[in-house]
Structure 1
Amino acid sequence: MANLAGPRIIKIRSEALQKMETKYGKYIITAGKADVELPSWRLERKPTDASTRLLWLDDDVIKGAFYVECVWYWKGSEQSIVEAHTHPFDEVITFFGSNPEDPQDLCGEVELWLDGEKHILTKSSLIFVPKGLKHCPLIIRRVDRPIFHFTTGPGGKYS
């Protein structure tokens, strides 16, 4: 006989309470990670009005999780926010515009270098970076409307 009650619905009262009361609540991330340790080639970013680090997931947050970082960009700059580097894992870097009339529009301009090649992004983009490929600098040159960015890789930590 079919389950007529439907799916079990859990109202989220607080992240801490949800994690205590439910079996899988620990897998829902709604906050950033405190005291993120970044590699030396990653420029230290203090909280500014140009961007907001929204969420962070790695092996420290949930054992066995891969690396994910989510950031909103509000303003452009001529300064690189990440210097050239490589990873021992594949990485996906993404940028999404916030224009509901044209989701392909990045709503700004992002400069990303891949192994010495300069790329200017003006469309919402997914970039696959194979392990070992030198990438960056990364410069958020112009932001006309907020740009959402996330990056992820199967490494347990960003390294």
Structure 2
Amino acid sequence: MNRLVAYLIRFAVILIGYVVAALAASAFLNIMFLASLGLMTDETQPAAQASLWFSVPFVALFVAYFAFMPAAIAILVSEIFGRRDWLFYALAGAVVAAVFLGFAYQTADANFEITDPRVVAAVVGCGMVGGIFYWLSAGRWAGSWREIGNPISPGRSGS
């Protein structure tokens, strides 16, 4: 029973971490594009800040949808191997973003241009921020479900 509870708790933590990562990636993407358009200056900041309250959760839905399968594979690998370092998650987020860009490039219509280097860098940075925020919320305890229920050996007795 302890094992089942540990699995369910870890699954809930993974879901919460994925939601946090999608929101962080969306916020980074929104701020990057607002800043590139020049809308983050002092005179336009109140309007831009108010628009972020709506656009960050809305774009997070798309980020979570398009990144789900590659992110699920990265999360599964991190859980199996028990990776708990932030660099793994940042690089995994970059790979997830690169996989998304590859799929978007392969399946896009002729008018959908995602080859601009600034857009590619923003999306890869978005993936890295999402990976780091996943690590902050759930990745630091990756593989902890395997430690529940295992007897701890006392080690050497010293005699």
The answer to whether TM tops 0.5 is: no
Q: Which has the higher contact order (CA 8 A, sep 6+)?
A: 2
Task: Tell me which structure has the larger Cα radius of gyration.
Answer: 2
Query: Which structure's residues are more often helix, by fraction?
Result: 2
Query: Which structure's residues are more often strand, by fraction?
Result: 1
TM score, norm. by length of structure 1: 0.24
